[in-house]
Amino acid sequence: MNVNLTPLHQKELARFLQLFRERVTKHLQAIDAEFEDLQSDRLSADDVYNQKDICEALQLLAFAIKSNVRIEMQELINMNALLLGRAMATAQKHKVDLTLDIGAVENRELLKRVERLDVAEWASDCKSIASKDAQKARPNVSEEGPYVEDFRRSEEKIRELESRIHENEQHISQSKQFQAMRQMIDKKNEQLRVLRERLQQYELEDEQLVEDD
């Protein structure tokens, strides 16, 4: 399988990755904003929260994040589908049929390479990894093989990037904002436990006073 890209295709691939990496950054910033809004609107260091308050706050946060992720993921899917559609339309004009190797998105080695992808390095060095999938590729024409492979590799990278974005979303719960919120909730729970113990002590003292009377 020939995976060397022309300088023009290397430039286009770099533009593609830059666009979607910027969208990932903006999306994560939007999620950070959801945590900040929760902390400023619903949580205060001076208040004590019961279990109901905490559950409501977490439900609102979960709803906001799910909505944000759903919209962003749908936009990314639509954008990639549009890009693939245009690539296929261009291929059809040249009488080339393209097929998608969906299984390639589960290739962990390739996904890790995309994460730290340097276009020039990928164009020259990834033959050893890509060769593992060589038998899966079946170009429909022989004379335009390199042309077909360029399209095929672009398609695979689109799917791999989608998979990477989905994987990043799974790490949201490990963000600093999420951990800070959990620490605040734990602190409030501890304060609530102490207050309950004090209230029980006061109730016992009141009962003893009544008995003494």
Residue-wise pLDDT tens digits, 16-25: 888 888 888 8
What is the value of pTM for the model shown?
0.48
pLDDT of residue 126: 46
- Most confident by average pLDDT, 30-44, 69-83, 197-211: 69-83
pLDDT tier at 125, thresholds 50, 70, 90:
very low
Nearest residue to 4 (alpha-carbon basis) of 89, 87, 138, 13: 13
Nearest residue to 152 (alpha-carbon basis) of 174, 178, 172, 130: 130
The tens digit of pLDDT for each residue in 130-140 reads 455 555 444 44
DSSP reduced 3-state for 141: coil
pLDDT tier at 57, thresholds 50, 70, 90:
confident
d(CA 75, CA 183): 34
Residue with more model confidence, 202 or 70: 70
Contact 8/149 with Cβ under 8 angstroms?
no
